[in-house]
Amino acid sequence: MKKLTTALLAAAAMTSVSAGIAFAQADYPTSPVTIVVPFAAGGPTDTVTRLIAEPMSAELGQQVIVQNVAGAGGTLAGTQVANAPADGYQILMHHIGMSTAPTLYPDLAYNPLEDFEMIGLVTNVPMTVIARKDFEPNTFEELVTYVQENADSVTYANAGIGAASHLCGLLFMSAIDTQVTTVPYQGTGPAMTDLLGGQVDFMCDQTTNTTGQITSGEVKGYAVTTPERLDALPDLPTTAEAGLEEFQVGVWHGLYAPAGTPPEVIEKLTAALQTALQDENVITRFAELGTRPVSLEEATPEAHEAYLSEQIDLWAPIIEAAGEMAQQ
């Protein structure tokens, strides 16, 4: 049987350009696998990736290397992996930004649904609405009123076009029907610096970045954007509790391979991902970051693809309404 498969594949290979790949896939992986992270090292997406890279590497029997290709809201890395050989040796970890890039960047060099094979969802990181320590409003309800009344003086920080904090801000503004001045930064670190220094008023970012500062009282925490309260931040109400049900957002992460990657390779990668998501250490560490792995049904190519296309349709009107497309 195996011989037959090999023969068929060999025949297919002769008529296709992917000759080298077809021969290589049976014993994939034979060399280290690189996961490209579209954001800087040390950030939340990077951390999530590095945490699952270790157990994935044990399952694949090859080293899994994490490479950071930061820039342009993650589209730089997306373009790189979309153009990489479809052999499963270079895959992409991307978050919610994958679903917003087609709208944010009208000239995007790739199509998220067509230029990638989905491997599976990874996790859905909750977000928190926070403000500088001395910002006037004390509760989420007060914040909404305050922002609506002072729309022309309030400033909102985000970590750059396409970053989770940018999207969360758009959704918030769309939910409360108010536009405020947005100050972009290169990553969450500098944005947090200016928030701590009181240079900007408020922002919304993943728990991975904000939990430490909220619990120590360095910043004011208002709400979490999930349906339920979080174990790590039990005092923060959900946005729904605070009366803004339509403002719910999570930074979901998924793994992608270039389009045309052989199904056998995708299968192996999905299996490795699922193993990693059941790893004790991964579960504990995710919990410390205020998140948890997705269910095994969601860590599949099918669920991933369905969710991605649903998210693309969700974000397109919000971004278009805000007119926040990048000028290319």
Partner 1 sequence: MELLANLGIGFSAALDPTNLLYCFVGVLLGTLVGVLPGIGPTATIAMLLPITFSFEPVTALIMLAGIYYGAQYGGSTTAILINLPGESSSAVTAIDGYEMAKQGRAGPALATAALGSFFAGTVATLILAVAAPPLARAALNFGAPEYFSLIVLGLLASIALAHGSVLKALAMIVLGLLLGMVGQDIYTGTPRFTFGFFELYSGINFVSVAVGVFGVAEILRNLEHETTRDVLVKKVENLWLTKDDFKRIIAPVLRGTALGSVLGILPGGGHVLSSFASYSFEKRISKHPETFGKGAIEGVAGPESANNAGAQTSFIPMLTLGIPAHPVMALMIGAFIIQGITPGPNVINDEPILFWGIIVSMWVGNLMLVLLNLPLIGLWVKLLTIPYKVLFPAIIAFACIGCYSINLNVFDVYAIVVFGFIGYLLVKLGCEPAPLLLGFVLGPLLEEHLRRAMIISRGDPMIFVERPISAVLLAFAVAAVVVAVLPSVRRKREEVFVEDD
Q: Given the rule CB under 8 A, which residues bind partner 1?
A: 40-43, 46-47, 50-51, 53-54, 65-66, 68-73, 75-76, 79-80, 104-105, 109, 155, 160-162, 181-187, 189-190, 192-194, 196-200, 208, 211-213, 215-216, 218, 285, 288-289, 326-328
Cis peptide preceding 29, ω within 30 of 0: yes
Comparing CB distances to partner 1, the nearer of 61 and 243 is 61
DSSP for 12-23 reads HHHHSS-HHHHH
185 vs 121: CA distance, rounded Å = 27
User: 3 to each of 6, 8, 19, 157, how far by Cα in Å?
Assistant: 5, 9, 17, 59
Indicate the SS3 state at residue 168.
Answer: helix
Comparing CB distances to partner 1, the nearer of 25 and 79 is 79
197 vs 21: CA distance, rounded Å = 52
Backbone region of residue 202 per phi and psi (left: phi > 0; alpha: psi in -120 to 50; beta: other values): beta
Comparing CB distances to partner 1, the nearer of 25 and 209 is 209
Least distance in angstroms from the C-beta of 15 to partner 1: 30
309 vs 275: CA distance, rounded Å = 25
133 vs 218: CA distance, rounded Å = 6
Least distance in angstroms from the C-beta of 247 to partner 1: 24
DSSP assigned state of 293: B
Least distance in angstroms from the C-beta of 299 to partner 1: 21
324 vs 300: CA distance, rounded Å = 32
Least distance in angstroms from the C-beta of 268 to partner 1: 21
Comparing CB distances to partner 1, the nearer of 182 and 239 is 182
162 vs 303: CA distance, rounded Å = 23
Least distance in angstroms from the C-beta of 5 to partner 1: 34
Comparing CB distances to partner 1, the nearer of 189 and 317 is 189
Comparing CB distances to partner 1, the nearer of 78 and 262 is 78
Comparing CB distances to partner 1, the nearer of 27 and 107 is 107
Least distance in angstroms from the C-beta of 196 to partner 1: 5
Least distance in angstroms from the C-beta of 284 to partner 1: 8
How does strand 181-184 pair with strand 33-37?
unpaired
